[in-house]
Chains A and B, each alone.
Chain A
Amino acid sequence: MGLESGLVDRARAGDLAAFEALVSPLIEPASQLARAILRDWHEAEDAVQEATFKAWRAVGKLRDETPSLRAWYLTIVANEARSRRRGRWWSIVRLADPRCDSDGPGPEEHASQSVDLERAMRRLTDRERLILLMHFYLDLPLDEIGRVLGLSTQGVKSRMYRATRSMRPALRCQEEV
């Protein structure tokens, strides 16, 4: 995707309204991405706010060859969210990986696909979860996801393949019990 050249030119020249027009449709997906990283809507909104300030300061340096404004903006948002997560004094308590054995849930819980999927998702790394979120929920193509996460398109593809493959046995396991 090429940049919306007219608006980008105006934003580069310091036109705040043009910049707002460019980022306005991106704020909601950006906040969903930040929410997925920070797991808190208030923190996510703060991260998007700060990232938008940074994007506004940096838009003058946006290059013509930048292929996607969305990936550029989401990269700033993802970096801001990750740095906030690293910086906060408390941390997310990760639950132990679910085991596919007798310690598993009771039969009534097996009936719930959402529980199965939740358990399968917890086995993924944060990066793998973000790839799935951006691809299946935010509808980003693989090359844009790669730019946001600093990976090659092939790298994204292989991680997504690994993630979905690793989820299948988990789901199947729940179904077989």
Chain B
Amino acid sequence: MDDRLRQELIAYFDHEVGRPPAGIRDRVLHKLGQSGVVDRDRMTDRRVRLLLQVAGVAGFVIAVAAFAGLLIFTRLHQTPTVPARPRASALPIAPPTAEPTVAPTPAVSPTRVPTAFSAPDSVSAIVFSDPVDRTQKDAIAWDGSGLGRLAADGAPNPAGTLFLTTTSVKDRQGRTVASVTVTGKKPPSWSDDGRMLCRTTPDAGVGVVSGTPVSLQVSALGGAWRTVGQYGTASENSGVDIAACSTLNDRAVLVGRMYQGPSVRQLWVVQLSTGLVLWSRSFPSGDPTVINVVASRDGASVAVGRATCCPTSAFTTTVYGPSGGQVGTFDGHAGGWAGTAFSWNGSRMILAAGTDETQVTVVDVHAGTTVWRAPPGLKVAGVVVEPLDGGRLGIALNGTGAFAGPDGYVPAADLYLVDAAGRARKVDTQIRPW
């Protein structure tokens, strides 16, 4: 097949299929977590239903046998004047048992956030999907000055002021600020200043020759891409992802990973202005497997999560500092599956511990102390970070509620803001994780 047709096919599927709705992974896993117990109940119920059906069938067979016996008996003893008319009295087959319902009670009406978000761009905002209409983006200001609907869609920058789509960058009102050309399957990442984009190229994919060098590139909005340097290689099933891209702190954190399983092979922290590798780590395959790498927005702190195995099932997270020195080791999974864990400067980190990751805490990375504990039994649904020196973490925790929207039930989450001292405030309830 020629390369032109290959590229056209990729572009065609980009248009026809495209990227899944934001948060689909979290929603699927959340519902799975909720159904874990229910599912076993459902299995038990199925067994009961099966038993009832077997009993019903057995009853029917007995009744048919009784009817046949009675028929034979009456034929043997029939008289011409009084014909026997036996009545079948078969036991009814047990009616099908209703499926146990797992759908929770609807929580909100479809007009949850009726007004437009009106805070100025100088106010940073947390962007999340509307509880009912997942295609609608809503925002709540970090300073509490506003909550409202946005006219834009796409991936928000760290301050929630600009939004990246596959063709353009838009502001909160939906106006196009710059045109971009997104090639490949991975969208670019926002830099921490919210005005630059970072990407690695090429993406893993069919046709990528094993060992192809991967370049890190940065671009101003609407500008040309500048290559910072080459780090690692790509193949059909492996590539390099961006964990952090900080133009303010002049560094990026890159992760070389295999895509056929959740395993990380290499980690680089590089200087954006020079391309120099500031420090790096290699992770040979084996057990414990390095599952994830998350970094603070400024790229100064990096958490490496290893899954220990059998019979214990738990994550251990090692945090590395700006020069690659080990800062500490913690039990738990940095950020859970949210992909974000650190406060802006890396001094605080979210940990999700326990086999079902429902013991959520915020720790002081340097002191090794716990500064906040989430209500027990809740899982991390999403994490946002207050830009620059705000120091707060926005943690969405899934509860047991859900929304009944036109697209079915979706898990609801409560949004907690936790500051560096561990003071927490629940600022919104029953949001749809971003």
Q: CB-CB contacts of B334-358 with A at 8 A, as 1s and 0s?
A: 0001000000000000000001110
Q: Is the CB of A164 within 8 A of B313?
A: no
| A4 to B1 Cα, complex, angstroms | 33
Enumerate chain A residues within 8 angstroms of B9, measured Cβ to Cβ.
Answer: 117, 132, 136-137
Confirm or deny: B36 has a beta carbon within 8 angstroms of a beta carbon on chain A: yes
Main secondary structure of the interface of A (DSSP, over half): helix
Q: Is the CB of B309 within 8 A of A6?
A: yes
Interface residue count for A (Cβ, 8 Å)? 54
Confirm or deny: A121 has a beta carbon within 8 angstroms of a beta carbon on chain B: yes
* Interchain nearest-CB distance for B370 vs A (Å): 21
Q: Tell me which of A24, A44, A121 contacts B12 (CB under 8 A).
A: A121
Q: Tell me which of B6, B16, B287, B311 contacts A136 (CB under 8 A).
A: B6
Q: Is the CB of A42 within 8 A of B11?
A: no
| A63 to B262 Cα, complex, angstroms | 19
Q: Tell me which of A6, A36, A53, A114 contacts B15 (CB under 8 A).
A: A114
* Interchain nearest-CB distance for B77 vs A (Å): 53
* Interchain nearest-CB distance for A129 vs B (Å): 9
Q: Tell me which of B260, B263, B313 contacts A18 (CB under 8 A).
A: B313
Q: Is the CB of A41 within 8 A of B206?
A: no
Q: Is the CB of B13 within 8 A of A136?
A: yes
Q: Is the CB of B408 within 8 A of A42?
A: yes
Q: Is the CB of B337 within 8 A of A42?
A: no
Q: Is the CB of B204 within 8 A of A17?
A: no
Q: CB-CB contacts of B260-272 with A at 8 A, as 1s and 0s?
A: 1111000000000
Enumerate chain A residues within 8 angstroms of B35, measured Cβ to Cβ.
Answer: 53
Q: Is the CB of A18 within 8 A of B13?
A: no
Q: A18 with B28: in contact, given A4-B262, A137-B10, A139-B237 (CB under 8 Å)?
A: no
Q: Is the CB of B357 within 8 A of A17?
A: yes
Confirm or deny: B307 has a beta carbon within 8 angstroms of a beta carbon on chain A: yes
Q: CB-CB contacts of A8-23 with B at 8 A, as 1s and 0s?
A: 0110010111111111
Enumerate chain A residues within 8 angstroms of B289, measured Cβ to Cβ.
Answer: 4, 6-7
Enumerate chain A residues within 8 angstroms of B263, measured Cβ to Cβ.
Answer: 4
Enumerate chain B residues within 8 angstroms of A45, measured Cβ to Cβ.
Answer: 20-21, 24, 27-28, 407
Q: A139 with B356: in contact, given A113-B8, A117-B9 (CB under 8 Å)?
A: no
Q: Which of B20, B33, B407 has the most CB of A within 10 A?
A: B20
Q: Is the CB of B357 within 8 A of A31?
A: no
Q: Is the CB of B355 within 8 A of A17?
A: yes
| A31 to B88 Cα, complex, angstroms | 53
| A94 to B260 Cα, complex, angstroms | 34
| A25 to B287 Cα, complex, angstroms | 19
Confirm or deny: A149 has a beta carbon within 8 angstroms of a beta carbon on chain B: no
Interface residue count for B (Cβ, 8 Å)? 55
* Interchain nearest-CB distance for A174 vs B (Å): 12
Q: For chain B residues 200-217, which have a beta carbon within 8 Å of chain A? A: 204-206
| A168 to B237 Cα, complex, angstroms | 28
Q: Tell me which of A7, A57, A70 contacts B39 (CB under 8 A).
A: A57
| A135 to B24 Cα, complex, angstroms | 22
Q: Is the CB of B309 within 8 A of A24?
A: no
Confirm or deny: B193 has a beta carbon within 8 angstroms of a beta carbon on chain A: no
Q: CB-CB contacts of B171-192 with A at 8 A, as 1s and 0s?
A: 0000000000000010000000
Confirm or deny: B32 has a beta carbon within 8 angstroms of a beta carbon on chain A: yes
* Interchain nearest-CB distance for B76 vs A (Å): 52
Q: A164 with B28: in contact, given A9-B309, A16-B356 (CB under 8 Å)?
A: no
Q: CB-CB contacts of A81-105 with B at 8 A, as 1s and 0s?
A: 0000000000000000000000000
| A114 to B184 Cα, complex, angstroms | 17
Q: A41 with B13: in contact, given A4-B262, A6-B289, A139-B205 (CB under 8 Å)?
A: no
Q: Is the CB of B313 within 8 A of A15?
A: yes
Q: CB-CB contacts of B221-246 with A at 8 A, as 1s and 0s?
A: 00000000000000011000000000
Q: Is the CB of B29 within 8 A of A20?
A: yes
Enumerate chain A residues within 8 angstroms of B279, measured Cβ to Cβ.
Answer: none
Q: Tell me which of A4, A46, A136 contacts B10 (CB under 8 A).
A: A136
Enumerate chain A residues within 8 angstroms of B98, measured Cβ to Cβ.
Answer: none
Q: Which residues of A contact B (CB under 8 A)?
A: 1, 4, 6-7, 9-10, 13, 15-25, 27-28, 31-32, 35-36, 41-42, 44-46, 48-49, 52-53, 56-57, 68-70, 113-114, 117-118, 121, 132-133, 135-137, 139, 141, 164, 167-168, 171
Which 8 A-B pairs rank lowest in CB-CB distance, beginning with the nearest? Answer: A6-B309, A137-B13, A31-B20, A42-B407, A27-B25, A15-B313, A4-B261, A136-B9
| 7 intermolecular pairs with C-beta atoms under 8 Å apart | A7-B289, A20-B33, A24-B337, A52-B32, A118-B12, A135-B206, A171-B5
Q: Which residues of B contact A (CB under 8 A)?
A: 1, 5-6, 8-21, 24-25, 27-29, 31-33, 35-36, 39, 43, 185, 204-206, 236-237, 259-263, 287-289, 291, 307, 309-311, 313, 337, 355-357, 407-408
